[in-house]
Amino acid sequence: MDERTLAENTAKELLEKLGFSNATIATTEDEEKRLNIQIDVEPEDSGMLIGFHGETLQAMQLILSQMIYKQAGQWRTITVNIGDYRQKRQLALESMAANAAQRVKLTGLSLTLPYLSSYERRLIHLAISQDPGLETFSQGEGKDRRLVIAPKKDMVKEEQPESENNSKPNA
């Protein structure tokens, strides 16, 4: 059995055990050899499978990865998507990054974003990396890990001491 079929069957088995026997599953493989498992369920069921900020979806992705690894004997990167959640979340994160970047530029102050998964922090890092005047870094550990967007150190204008600004020319 090829890995795509194995992934589909494993996902179907897991979803049936969770009570989602009406799910439609399609598996594709991308250029980087990642398996993409697309799951479509009734709209009222999707929230339960996605969870808060995709936490249940991430957990299901991890469980499916482990199950497929145990059966196939080799590790594959697997991405699970419910409906169009990942696309919508990516758009929301790109918007969040753009708004935060604009705020940092206007105020000149760093901005700490709320909790994001490591995947979501990566998307923000990538979006902000396109801006030469900003930098991003993560701080904290575990659930306390936060992404900070800040003006680049070499881009911050240093203020001159007030005495130099207001000095009168010698007459």
- Can you tell me whether residue 7 is helix, strand or coil? helix
Domain assignment present for residue 69? The answer is yes
Q: pLDDT by residue (tens digit) across 123-164?
A: 999 999 999 999 999 999 988 999 999 999 865 544 334 434
64 and 105, same domain (yes or no)? no
Domain assignment present for residue 65? The answer is yes
Domain assignment present for residue 114? The answer is yes
What does the CA dihedral 75, 119, 88, 62 come to, rounded to 10 degrees? 40
Domain assignment present for residue 168? The answer is no
Q: What is the residue range of 95's domain?
A: 87-155
Q: pLDDT by residue (tens digit) across 111-125?
A: 999 999 888 999 999
Distance CA 78, CA 59 (A): 12
Domain assignment present for residue 134? The answer is yes
40 and 66, same domain (yes or no)? yes
Domain assignment present for residue 163? The answer is no
Q: What is the pTM of this model?
A: 0.76
What lies within 8 Å, CB to CB, of 78 at 6+ separation is 7, 34, 35, 36, 37, 61, 64, 65, 68
